[in-house]
Structure 1
Amino acid sequence: MRGISSLALLPLALAAPTFHRRDELVPGKYIVVLSQDFIGAQAALVPEVERSQVYDAGSFKGFSAELSDSQVQELENSPQANGIAHTTIADPDEAVNQALFVTQSGAPSWGLGRVSHRQLGNEDYTYYRSAGEGTCAYIVDTGVYAEHVEFEGRATFLANFATNAPDATTDDNGHGTHVAGTIGSAAYGVAKKTQLYGIKVLDRGGYGYWSDVIAGIDFAVEDSKNRTNCPKGYVANMSLGGYRNQALNDAVAAAVDAGIFFAVAAGNDGFNADGFSPASEPKAFTVGATDSIDNQTAWSNYGQLVDAFAPGDTINSTYIGGADSWRTLSGTSMATPHVAGLGAYLLSVYGKASPSALGFRIKGLSTKGAVKNTVPNSGTPNYLVFNGATF
């Protein structure tokens, strides 16, 4: 019996902070910003660290210090630390700093403009030029059409675990290619320089078995252990789902524990996400969908297990059928790759981080209270993802 499917609706149509140059980083020197919940706990936070400066300016609390890699990892995993970043040499040359950002005028999918601006209505996509470079993104889906021109040679059809499509060597459905395009294609992508790896677990019809999905997750974990072209880290996207399955949730949790940030679709049933997998796995980053005027879509799942919202209605992206094909699709399937791409993007900007620290950063950057028509009394966090590139 088929247990899962991709989470796209029927197609509607065819067809930050200022960052300094990475070479100006001061090796081993970091700035740690403390959570407001723990501002009195500096002494207990890596107590052996000798602080260079201590900051106490109103709501801004923190310190600078020289930290080892193990201390950085400890802080990244601590709820007491709201953020950690390299110290850089300040550069007063405004023109140089502006050059670190790129603006894609009239981006072909409205979601790009939305995730790079606090306010509605901007069609341009602004992003830091690292754009996911040094990261790898696994797409556990219907596969990826690697020959699409928008992937610029950065996409690979890595493996096939779909029981009902054992001989497939490319995406024969289109869903996975659409997802991959939002993550990292040149025109439609959030992280335009990330490496894209398609793992096929769903068949031509967009359906599959939990056992195949778990095999795909396991493959991603093993592949990440031996891959050398992802020094900034790994993300994975699963725009699929079905009724709650603990084995699937456990597999996702294990992958997160292994260091892969997993963005997963909340689901398109209009119900609480706690009844569905992998959306109900707390270690995953579960994504709900908004439309172009910031409404929670009527079909998006919701609830306390949703981590944030992202654009998911009428999203344009790459598709199968030709080297330059594209299509408009809707669903939490389309919202989720905005977050996977954002994860890769932030890893390239800030450096490698644990999945929990990366999720914490995404929620910290998000625009709070922007989503309208959320389900009352559902406990759904009102976070709309944002890349921090504009003010």
Structure 2
Amino acid sequence: MFSKRILNILLILNLPSFIISAPLAICDGCDHLSLRSPSPQTPSLSDATCPNFGGTNEPLIDYNVVLKTDAANYDSIVKNHFEMLEKCLQRERHNVHELDFSSIKDNNNVIFDFSVKGMIAGYTTKFTKSFVENYLSKLNDVAIVNENKVIEDPFENEFVEQARLVRRAERSTAKMPNLDRIDQENYPLDLKYTYPDSAGAGVDVFVLDSGIFLDHEEFQGRQGKTVVEKTFCGNILADDNGHGTNVASIVGGKTLGVANNANIIGVKITGNVCPLNSQNIINGITYVMQQKANDPGRKIIINLSATSDDSAVGEAASKAVEAGIHFVVGAGNRNLDACGFYPGKVETVVTVAATKITPLPNQQDWITEFSNWGKCVTLFAPGGNVPIAGIGNPSEITSGSGTSLSAPHVSGAIALMLANGDLTPEQSKEELVRLATKDKIQGLDFRPTANLLLRVPSP
């Protein structure tokens, strides 16, 4: 007789009827799963009420799941949980860090595994809401299970001005007040950008974004490499909305960049035909974690210019920092408390808000009208009318505004630090605070935030 427990799971998940006729052997080894301590309101799978957890017409929804692991139990937890998904539910498991997503034709029966051995264990797959609420979320080995949602307008209130700037043969700051501002404490600006000679050499900055327009002049003739290494979103060679190119040029562009010898490595997580969701942010973060696991000695920074309300994103960011990765994120552009968004609310992450420079003759630093703020903000960096590389042609220079453009200033600054010494993520964050220009930012009266403005290390 077919096991009642397995039949219940299959009914809950609305799996195809042909699976129900499969032999008992498909679920050997599933008995190791256990619910948290049951209560009168928490039936176990052996109860007659189990089929009510999910009706046959209940839709399947994408969920991000993070497992509860530590150094002692990592292997056993991962083995047991994925055996349940594969054997009992007949799902195909794929490692997202190696997967060509274009090869997947049916997402309904796929487990997108973003685990990095010893660091984080988890996956994205489809379940019914009832199954998640009444069973999966109550398993002892599940730490987080959240619906995988599309992030509506992830770069809200950001603005790119298409008017081109005059190119200079030399690295002049006359058209780059953002760089001029971050190497000195006080006004007036001295029309110079002074930085350590190493300029971030040997440091890898992973830009999790929309890709990079590699043919742009800003990425040609650099000591550091510029590549797009992985895509979770369509064509790896295309940056169809330009955002990733904008960000990358501030990190390390030849003339526009804070650290123009750093390696810039694109990881494509969004694009015009691929709306950003929390799954792809997690995939991008864990992909970088896998690179760190492959080579623990690499000096790695993650730059992320998007926010989410999914705590699984925050957990991935936290685990990345634990793995020794320096993590920088834009605070967001809604004029709200940055503590309401992940991964910015994660204490170990560097969360960056945006300032603008008022016009001559009385130049000052002001928080931008759009920037998020609050105690979760680590410091500010220029984010108003910042010169950036565009995607219109290989020489296009535009300007833009947003905390997306503030964050890469800080990623570049950390690259300058790491090129000249070994620092943990905790130490680089402390050094950012120590070096920062203090008490110069105006407009914080009703937005209580640490009054700290990025300053790069001296040569």
* TM-score calculated relative to the size of structure 2: 0.61
Matches for 1:1-391 after TM superposition, within 5 Å = 1-3=149-151, 5-6=154-155, 9-15=158-164, 104-106=171-173, 108-122=175-189, 123-152=191-220, 154-162=225-233, 166-204=234-272, 207-226=275-294, 233-242=299-308, 244-292=309-357, 293-349=364-420, 351-376=421-446, 378-389=447-458
Q: How has the CA–CA distance of structure 1 residues 347 and 264 changed in structure 2, closer, same or farther, with 3 Å as cutoff?
A: same
Q: Which residue of 2 aligns with 1:88?
A: none
Q: How has the CA–CA distance of structure 1 residues 266 and 161 changed in structure 2, closer, same or farther, with 3 Å as cutoff?
A: same
CA contact (8 A) 1:115 1:385 kept: yes
Deviation at 1:324, TM superposition (A): 1.8
Deviation at 1:10, TM superposition (A): 2.1
**SS at 1:215 equivalent:** helix
Greater than 4 Å deviation, 4+ residue runs: none
CA contact (8 A) 1:161 1:213 kept: no
Within 2, Cα distance between the matches of 1:343 and 1:120? 23
Within 2, Cα distance between the matches of 1:338 and 1:321? 23
CA contact (8 A) 1:173 1:205 kept: no
AA at the equivalent of 1:197: I
Within 1, Cα distance between the matches of 2:232 and 2:198? 33
Q: How has the CA–CA distance of structure 1 residues 389 and 273 changed in structure 2, closer, same or farther, with 3 Å as cutoff?
A: same
CA contact (8 A) 2:213 2:237 kept: no
The structure carrying a bigger strand percent of its residues is 1
Q: How has the CA–CA distance of structure 1 residues 108 and 260 changed in structure 2, closer, same or farther, with 3 Å as cutoff?
A: farther
CA contact (8 A) 2:327 2:350 kept: yes
CA contact (8 A) 1:109 1:317 kept: no
Within 1, Cα distance between the matches of 2:211 and 2:202? 22
CA contact (8 A) 1:142 1:206 kept: no
**SS at 1:139 equivalent:** strand
Within 2, Cα distance between the matches of 1:237 and 1:282? 16
Within 2, Cα distance between the matches of 1:359 and 1:7? 27
CA contact (8 A) 2:328 2:410 kept: yes
AA at the equivalent of 1:2: V
Structure 2 unpaired stretches of 5+? 1-148, 165-169, 358-363
AA at the equivalent of 2:384: D
Within 2, Cα distance between the matches of 1:372 and 1:206? 38
Q: 1:358-390: per-residue Cα shift (whole Å, max 9, x none)?
A: 0100110001101111143x5411100101328
Deviation at 1:246, TM superposition (A): 0.6
**SS at 2:365 equivalent:** coil
Within 1, Cα distance between the matches of 2:305 and 2:336? 17
CA contact (8 A) 1:7 1:333 kept: no
CA contact (8 A) 2:436 2:453 kept: yes
Within 2, Cα distance between the matches of 1:369 and 1:219? 38
Within 2, Cα distance between the matches of 1:2 and 1:116? 38
Within 2, Cα distance between the matches of 1:302 and 1:339? 16
Within 2, Cα distance between the matches of 1:321 and 1:7? 22
Q: 1:283-336: per-residue Cα shift (whole Å, max 9, x none)?
A: 110000000130011110000000000000000111213222222110001111
Within 2, Cα distance between the matches of 1:110 and 1:389? 18
Q: Which residue of 1 aligns with 2:72?
A: none
**SS at 1:324 equivalent:** coil
Deviation at 1:104, TM superposition (A): 4.2
CA contact (8 A) 1:160 1:169 kept: no
Within 1, Cα distance between the matches of 2:338 and 2:274? 20
Within 1, Cα distance between the matches of 2:318 and 2:156? 20
The number of residues matched between the two structures is 295
Q: 1:333-360: per-residue Cα shift (whole Å, max 9, x none)?
A: 11110000001011113x1211110010
Q: How has the CA–CA distance of structure 1 residues 294 and 208 changed in structure 2, closer, same or farther, with 3 Å as cutoff?
A: same
CA contact (8 A) 1:256 1:283 kept: yes
Query: Larger deviation: 1-10 or 352-361?
Result: 1-10
**SS at 1:356 equivalent:** helix
Within 1, Cα distance between the matches of 2:289 and 2:184? 33
Within 1, Cα distance between the matches of 2:401 and 2:412? 17
Deviation at 1:279, TM superposition (A): 1.6
AA at the equivalent of 1:179: V
Deviation at 1:245, TM superposition (A): 1.6
Structure 1 unpaired stretches of 5+? 16-102
Q: How has the CA–CA distance of structure 1 residues 303 and 114 changed in structure 2, closer, same or farther, with 3 Å as cutoff?
A: same
Q: How has the CA–CA distance of structure 1 residues 187 and 247 changed in structure 2, closer, same or farther, with 3 Å as cutoff?
A: same
What's the C-alpha RMSD, in Å, of the aligned pairs?
Answer: 2.0
Deviation at 1:107, TM superposition (A): 5.1
Q: Which residue of 2 aligns with 1:93?
A: none
Larger Rg: 2
Within 1, Cα distance between the matches of 2:161 and 2:218? 22
CA contact (8 A) 1:139 1:176 kept: yes
* TM-score calculated relative to the size of structure 1: 0.71
Within 2, Cα distance between the matches of 1:8 and 1:195? 29
**SS at 2:248 equivalent:** helix
**SS at 2:159 equivalent:** coil
